[in-house]
Amino acid sequence: MKKVCVFVDDTRTSFDTLKWALNSFGFETEVVLLHARPLDSEFPKEAEAIFQKSIKLLRDLAKTISFRVIGLLSVQGGISTLLEKAEELGPDVIVVGQHKKTLFRPRHHTCDMIARNSSIPVIVVQSQKVVKDVNIK
């Protein structure tokens, strides 16, 4: 794996997903972290604090795992905006998390919409374990 794009937001699931991706792809991997912020964010300071927390996590993990961060982008918008940005960056795979409580929801979960609408292969991670490996097109 050469380039991995990880979608994160402000949830614990996102941080677990990021850890899983870095542990799984490890050496010689370029990581692009896309931080999703809602369009109607009423709390911009909190959103920035969460983004900084993601950066801190990357720095902490960099002490034990060999990878290279090539981008830290905070994207405001919906799934289509995230996918457009990801496609511009050209990763080999997108990694996205899924909360275990929504595992059996009928295909309306964010990760399902990402997998269905992405032209890039998508790996869905739940609790540091792959639950879906979706190859699109």
- Over residues 23-32, the pLDDT tens digits come to 787 666 777 7
- Return the bridge partners of 129, or none: 126
> Is 126 a member of any domain?
yes
> Is 98 a member of any domain?
yes
> Is 87 a member of any domain?
no
Regarding whether 98 and 73 lie in a shared domain, the answer is: no
> Is 13 a member of any domain?
no
The pLDDT of residue 120 is 92
**Is the pLDDT score of 121 beyond 90?**
yes
Whole-angstrom distance, CA of residue 88 vs CA of residue 69: 16
Range of the domain at 57: 26-77
Q: How many domains does the chain have?
A: 2
Q: Give the chain's length.
A: 137
Regarding whether 69 and 30 lie in a shared domain, the answer is: yes
β-pairing, 129-134 with 122-126? Answer: antiparallel
- Over residues 68-81, the pLDDT tens digits come to 555 555 666 677 87
Regarding whether 98 and 72 lie in a shared domain, the answer is: no
**Is the pLDDT score of 131 beyond 60?**
no
Q: How far is CA 103 from CA 5, 33, 44, 73, 81, in A?
A: 22, 23, 29, 27, 24
3-state secondary structure of 39: coil
Question: Quick one: angle between helices 110-117 and 79-89, nearest 10?
Answer: 50
Residue 54's nearest CA partner among 38, 79, 70, 33 is 33
* pTM: predicted TM-score of the whole model, two decimal places: 0.70
> Is 72 a member of any domain?
yes
- Over residues 44-97, the pLDDT tens digits come to 676 667 667 767 776 676 665 555 555 555 666 677 878 888 888 888 999 888
- Return the bridge partners of 75, or none: 36
Eight-class DSSP state of 110: H
Regarding whether 73 and 34 lie in a shared domain, the answer is: yes
Regarding whether 30 and 73 lie in a shared domain, the answer is: yes
Regarding whether 100 and 69 lie in a shared domain, the answer is: no
